[in-house]
Amino acid sequence: MSGFSNRGASAGAIQQHYDLGNDFYAAWLGTTMAYSAARLLPDEGPDALDAAQERKLDWHLAAAKAQAAARVLDVGCGWGAILTRLRDAAGVAEPVGITMSSAQAEWIAAHEPGLQVAVTPWQDFRDPQPFDAIISIGAFEHFAGPDLDEAGKIAAYHDFFAFCAESLKPGGRVSLQTIAWLELPRAEQRANLPEKLFPDSNLPNFNEIAAADARFTVRHADHEPLDYARTLRAWIRNIRAAEPSLSRRYGAATVKHYLQNFMLFTMGFESRRISLYRIILEKRPG
């Protein structure tokens, strides 16, 4: 497999955010521990977060054709939501996860023993056996740094899709979920991204994704910014409910930091500065 350069978030930047404390995230993410936008029905409120997260997970299983898969790779596996769903709902014999967060890997080992998780950047991941499908939810935002120009971002994304193509069987699918810029001039983008929450990271534009996926055919693409806005509002409600205990353990400044940045992101989705894309790609023959 080709060597790939990391043009996005460093291991230190990832750990700064995701290794804050597993109990911190468990206090407000919900039972799935999914740290990405749910699929909420129009009439559902914050109380439906867990069911909406499971609906999102199942959407990606269907998109990746996981029911017919023996081996599925989750790039940016978080606390194991997709890995667990692949095993328990789709009957995938070998779900494999990649994360750069030691804390997430420790959580999975403690709560879902037997699942395979590699603590490594995807650029360094090697597996001699091809996968039937790849799922990546909420990780793509970390694959390009904030100082890259359009060409640099496309090069970073091209590397990721090349990695996916080399890791997949012919006809294998990638189910990708990512935040992306929407109708916002490049000069204004950096000011609208809470870099202090996600250091070393940036968002793609959809055209940058499309320009980078030459080895794949796009089978489906949609954008639902309000899915993320409503998910964020559910998280904000949960954080506020747990605020006294979280503040005692992690500090009031940390809790305030998350609340403020989540509100900024919520306003970004609601004003259509940023959106949420779900994209299904299929590896081309040859």
Confidence of residue 262 (pLDDT cuts 50, 70, 90): very high
Instruction: Specify the amino acid at residue 42.
Output: P
Q: Above 60 in pLDDT, residue 1?
A: no
pLDDT in tens, 108-127: 999 999 999 999 999 999 99
Sign of CA dihedral 174, 180, 182, 184: negative
Confidence of residue 68 (pLDDT cuts 50, 70, 90): confident
* pLDDT for position 194: 66
pLDDT in tens, 220-241: 999 999 999 999 999 999 999 9
Query: What is the residue-wise DSSP string for 19-31?
Result: TS-HHHHHTTS-T
User: What class does CATH assign to 11-283?
Assistant: alpha beta
Confidence of residue 189 (pLDDT cuts 50, 70, 90): confident
pLDDT in tens, 38-63: 999 988 888 999 999 999 999 999 99
Domain ranges of the chain: 11-283
* pLDDT for position 161: 96
**Looking at the chain, which runs of residues are DSSP E strands?**
71-75, 94-99, 116-119, 131-137, 168-181, 216-223, 274-283
Going from the C-alpha of 170 to that of each of 56, 83, 159, 284, the distances in angstroms are: 26, 22, 18, 7
* Average pLDDT in the chain: 94
Q: Which residue has the higher pLDDT, 193 or 92?
A: 92
Q: How many CB atoms lie within 10 A of CB 196?
A: 10
CB 92 within 8 A of CB 86: yes
Query: What 8-state DSSP symbol labels residue 38?
Result: -
Burial 79-110 (b: 16+ CB within 10 A, else e): bbbbbbbbbeebebebbbbbbbbebbbebbee
SS3 call for 141: helix
Confidence of residue 182 (pLDDT cuts 50, 70, 90): confident
pLDDT in tens, 93-109: 999 999 999 999 999 99
